[in-house]
A and B are shown apart, each in its own frame.
Chain A
Amino acid sequence: MNRRQFIHLMAIAGASGLLPKTLADTPTDPYDMPNMGQVRLLHLTDCHAQLLPVYYREPNVNLGLKNMRGRAPHLVGNRLLQQFGIKPNTPEAHAFTYLNYSQAAEKYGKVGGFAHLATLIKRLRDSYGHEKTLLLDGGDTWQGSGTAYWTRGQDMVEATNMLGVDIMTGHWEFTYLAEEILANINKFKGEFIAQNVFVKDESLFDGAPAFDEDTGHAFKPYTMRNLNGVRVAVIGQAFPYTPIANPARFIPDWTFGIRESEMQSIVNTVRTQEKPDIVVVLSHNGMDVDLKMAGRVSGIDVILGGHTHDGVPQPSQIKNSGGMTLVCNAGSNGKFLGVLDFDVKNGKIKDYQYRLLPVFSHLLPADQDMQTYIDQVRAPYLGKLTEKLAETDQILYRRGNFNGTFDQLICDALRIQGDAQISLSPGFRWGTTVLPNQEITMEDVLNQTCITYPETYVREMSGAEIKMILEDVGDNLFNADSYRQQGGDMVRVGGMDYVCEPTQTINQRISNMTLDDGSAIEMNKRYKVAGWATVGSQSPGKPVWDVVADYLRDRKEIKLDKINTPKLINVDDNPGLADYPV
């Protein structure tokens, strides 16, 4: 669908009363949400195990290319505010954009935290009626913090039980060992669903457990809930490229994929057999994949999505052969809670209202039970977590298509500690923010690096190999077909610069690779490269957090002289790019 068709569609939607309430209707109390309809869905996603309130800076580079150019979620800064009618210099503008970030963060404080989320969720359930409310978690819940790593995700299983999560799907959940994942799912009081995870034929043959041996589904594909007489179907869609983006060796029996035709047939089956009033897909596809899927699969009322960490204030309304599907994406790190109310009549949706509520921690008193639990989880590790490693005079963040400042710090540490010329660091979208003139603690470092395959390496690579890596990851980010994107950002680099033309095709995007001293990186010459997070096999070096912590303890004060962001070509006026160094 092109922009003109989309606008046309929006006009139709507006005329038929389907257009959402605008943000101008925001009541004085930001959490005083009027009740509407018969069913309320609460949507949390990608919290990355952040039990405590955090800072999380939204990106200033989130390029959308071709048909995605200028469309949500590929809008940053003022372009995002304009698109959604948000006034600048307001709490909402701060929540949804990077604008004036450090000062605004000082003013509005931290976001998220499970004790504050618990208070908000309880309030939204109390006012609407618990029997009419579902709490859905899109995954990336069991990974991202020191305590999640040390407890193998179990601290988060209990936290989500206390929060009252009814249904979840996953991605980083699958970076523990298969038996640990199954044990955690067993302890989870809600249901874990995924229609796109199958037990491999050979594993099934060898006796690997499956939810359904006939279909091969590793997990329950969907679940039905009766909310005060309204029948809600929820279909799970785990991250389709888990065994590619993360180590397959932890989960050798399972195979994933987008599985579009399987999704359509499940929707058809659910529609015919279960007679639902509402069909929901709880997705970890990433928003671009959700948007494409919404246009090609019919019969879904709403896709509640995550993975790409896009905090999008209003749903995208996507037309398909069966009518219209809403696509909502609810940000990350506990910063937002999506609230979707449906008015249903005679098995059809008449109207809806959606708000993506920013969770400002100081506006929501901590839930005492949850706070006690969090304190108890952290107690054994408190000394390690709170160790002050160094001070920073500038903001440290990750999120964005290219190097963030915290990435640069990690890349510098890898390069200096490993005595390497070049360093590489993965373009994850999680990782919390440190404000200027704050201490960097071990917890901050862990929040940026805590994965189950943290080992580092230092090895020789040819210039051609380095280019191949940049091209390969660049294609995962910028491929013209969103089904062929994996939803991470570009690999971060240290000690080298390059030119990137995102609109090109693979092997044509990267050029002019140079070392920091300006000399050209030659294809047939070999370079010493440091890195971490290898998916193929375990690397030999120390965990990356120890490398970074050693570097910080040595330096004591952090001042980044150079950020190795690439020079970009052919994206000058892209609405997903602002305040980018030329």
Chain B
Amino acid sequence: MKTSRRIFLRNAVALSVGAIILPSTVMAEKQVAAFQAGTVDDSLANLFESAQVEESDKITIKTPDIAENGKVVPIEITADLAKVESITIFAEKNPMPLVGKFNFAGNRKGWLKTRIKMGGTGNVIAIVKADGKLYKASREIKVTIGGCGG
């Protein structure tokens, strides 16, 4: 029997409660620095050994073209790459651009869906670590004050 979307969502919420580890409680010094960094480059330097990042069209970032609400912008990232180790998300224009780094254990599919906060129009950047290398893709999301539509 097919699981309905509602049941699936309930289960997903139940699962995720067990999995969340608050960054502040166990965060190493470098990770704190990565979150506090004011630019994507500074943050990256604290997260990864190498600064070598390759643009990749194997990474798809699905977002609305214009955010309905900048406080909760849905984004879905799919990395069609072998041996995905982590996906890191940045909102380039945010005062603290690092949104989060998601580690993938074992041979999982490089896919995640989440919501991020965006202060204004800017690029969302996905850095995917796969088979020891870093790959990158970005997509601009427009955040507007709204109104005046006809």
Of A4-12, A123-131, A243-251, A337-345, the one contacting chain B is: A243-251
Q: How far is the CA of A308 from the CA of B6 in the complex (A)?
A: 36
Residues in A whose Cβ lies below 8 Å from that of B148: 245, 426-428, 473, 476, 486, 488, 491, 533
Interface set, chain A 224-272, CB cutoff 8 A to B: 239, 241, 243-246, 248, 255-258, 261
Total count of chain B residues near the partner, CB < 8 A: 24
Q: Which of B2, B9, B10, B68 counts the most chain A CB atoms within 10 A?
A: B68
Query: Residues of A contacting B69 with CB < 8 Å?
Result: 243, 248
Q: In whole Å, how far is A139's beta carbon from the nearest beta carbon of chain B?
A: 13
B121 touches A201 (CB 8 A): no
In the complex, chain A residues whose CB is within 8 Å of the CB of B121: 506
Q: Is the CB of A487 within 8 A of B150?
A: yes
CA of A216 to CA of B6, assembled, Å: 9
CA–CA, A205 to B147, complex, Å? Answer: 29
Partner of A261, one of B10, B62, B66, B146: B62
Across the interface, B150 reaches (CB within 8 A) one of A475, A484, A489, namely: A489
Assuming the A-B contacts A248-B68, A486-B66, are A241 and B4 also in contact, with contact meaning beta carbons closer than 8 angstroms in the complex? no
B64–A257 touching, CB < 8 Å: yes
CA distance A307 to B150 in the complex (A): 7
- Which residues in chain A, 444-501, are within 8 Å of chain B measured between CB atoms? 468-469, 472-473, 475-476, 479, 481, 483-484, 486-489, 491
Q: Is the CB of B150 within 8 A of A488?
A: yes
Whether the Cβ atoms of A244 and B66 lie closer than 8 Å is yes
Bound form: Cα–Cα A255–B6 in Å: 16
Within 8 Å CB of B146, what residues of A? Answer: 244-245, 535-536
Bound-state Cα–Cα, A536 to B148, Å: 12
Residue of A at shortest CB range from B64? A257
Number of A-B contacts defined by CB within 8 Å: 94
A488–B13 touching, CB < 8 Å: no
Nearest CB of A to B147, in Å = 4
Residue of A nearest to B10 (CB): A205
Complex-state Cα separation, A491 to B144, whole angstroms: 14
Q: Which residues of B contact A257 (CB under 8 A)?
A: 64-65, 68
Q: Does A25 sit at the interface, judged by CB under 8 A?
A: no
B6 / chain A contacts, CB cutoff of 8 Å:
204-205, 213
Shortest CB–CB separation between residue A469 and chain B, in angstroms?
A: 7
Residue of B nearest to A256 (CB): B68
B2 touches A427 (CB 8 A): no
A57 to chain B: which residues have CB within 8 Å? Answer: none
Some 20 contacts from A to B, beta carbons below 8 A apart, are A201-B9, A204-B5, A204-B6, A205-B13, A214-B4, A216-B5, A243-B68, A244-B144, A258-B64, A309-B150, A426-B147, A472-B145, A475-B144, A476-B144, A486-B149, A488-B148, A506-B121, A534-B147, A535-B146, A535-B147
Task: List 10 tightest A-B contacts by C-beta distance, closest first.
Answer: A245-B149, A488-B150, A429-B150, A428-B150, A488-B149, A535-B147, A426-B148, A483-B65, A486-B149, A244-B146
